[in-house]
Every structure is written in C-alpha cells, then in structure tokens.
Amino acid sequence: MSEFLDKHTLFDNNTIRVIEPFVLYSYVDDDNVVVWDEDISDNEDWSMVNKKIELYARTCYKSEDRITVESADKFVKHLHSRHHDGALEHVTVTVKLFCSRAASHQIVRHRLASYLQESQRYCNYGKDDKLVVVAPEELYTNRNFEALNEYVSDMAIEYGIYKKWLAKGWNTEDSRYFLPAAVISQTPALFLTNPLLLNLLSVLLLESYNLSLFGL
C-alpha cells in the first residue's frame, strides 16, 4: 500500500504522515491474484461485471437473444435510466476506503455495505515509524500549510501520549483511547452494485466532502 500512501501524502516527517482520503478497488490480475488498485478502467475482471448484469437482467424482458459482445454497457445504462436498479444488485464489488477513524464511523453506521475495519484493539501503532493521519477538509482542499504545520505538531503530541502508555505496559485495546480520531482507518467495504454506481460512490467520497461522508 506504500505507493498509494505516497501518492496521497500531503506532509511527512519523522513522526507524522498526513494524507488525503482515497479509495482502492479490488480485482483479479493477470496472475489470478486479487489485488488493490486505483485504476480499473482497462481491467477485464471489471468489464465482466456489466456482462453478468446484462445476462441476469435480460431474463425480465426475455431478450437474451439480443446479447452481443458490445451490448452490456449500453444495456446497463438503459437499466439505470429506467430506474431498474434492482438488477444492478446481482454483482458485488469490494473497495477499500482510506479515511479517518472519525469519518469511518459515519460511513459504517449507515450500512450502505458490509464492512471490515482496521482494528485499533489489535493494531499496535507504536511499532510503526510514524503515525498516519488524515487531514481535515480545510487542510487538503485549501492547502493551508500554516495550519498543516500546527496540525502535525498536535498529532505528534497525541501520538507521543499513546506511545507513552504503551511503554507503561498498557495493551493496545486500552492505549487506543489516546489515539486521535484523525488516525487512518482502512475499511474494506462490500457493495451490492456495479461500476456505474461505484463511480457515483467515488464522487461522493472523494469530491463532495460537504456531504458529510469524508468531510468531517
């Protein structure tokens, strides 16, 4: 994941790395290995999603004989335009959300998907070289570098307190009470959807911060 963290890093020093939120998509690569990536536009695994939806949904219209090599994308868009969105739920998509712990609470409580989440009970952030935190909207949209420096200093203080209590012998479950809400939370999410709706999800998560998904 380091290459994706590097790409979305706003600030990095010896103690704190500040990132902006982002989303990764899962797919099966040419070696038949499931991997994460940001660019899935040319991936065959994803191109099959609409083909599957077309095969299933044409049952409703008894039009299976109209399936061609290139008919799937147009047909799925047609389904969506007619609000026949139930047909889109016959394929699952898993993405990984990289956001703050605070934002993740807002996402998972609405049950838009089935979730897993990086556990602060078991993950020991004191073993890492630095703490990865997500910048608030004010910092990564307006590039307020003066505030960013102050933000990093405050995060370093909180990280130091967390490590202090680990050093006192506290376990990770109890020491997590000292972690800031800005700590990165990797959250795999399984959506019953297709790329058409997933593109909408990506817009909501990465661009429309004022919709109170990532913009806390």
pLDDT at 172 over 90: yes
Mean pLDDT value across the chain = 82
Mind listing the pLDDT tens digit for each residue in 126-168?
998 899 999 888 887 777 788 888 999 999 999 999 999 999 9
CA angle 102, 106, 111 (to 5 degrees): 140
Q: Name the least confident of 6-15, 66-75, 201-210.
A: 201-210
Bigger pLDDT: 93 vs 179: 179
pLDDT at 205 over 70: no
CA atoms within 13 A on the CB side of 153: 6
- Report domain extents, the chain: 2-38+92-211, 46-90
Cα separation of 55 and 1, whole Å? Answer: 35
pLDDT at 174 over 70: yes
Mind listing the pLDDT tens digit for each residue in 97-134?
899 999 888 888 877 778 889 999 999 999 988 999 99
Q: How confident is the model at residue 193 (pLDDT cuts 50, 70, 90)?
A: low
Cα separation of 150 and 18, whole Å? Answer: 12
Residue at 60: amino acid letter: C
Instruction: Give the pLDDT score at 212.
Output: 36
Taking residues 52-66, what's their average pLDDT? 91
Instruction: Give the pLDDT score at 144.
Output: 77
Say how many C-beta atoms besides its own lie within 10 A of residue 149's C-beta: 11
Q: First CA to last CA across the chain, in angstroms? A: 24
Say how many C-beta atoms besides its own lie within 10 A of residue 189's C-beta: 20
CA angle 143, 23, 195 (to 5 degrees): 130
Instruction: Give the pLDDT score at 214.
Output: 35
CATH class of the domain defined by 2-38+92-211 = alpha beta
Percent of the chain whose pLDDT exceeds 90:
38
pTM of the model: 0.73
8 Å CB contact between 104 and 97: yes
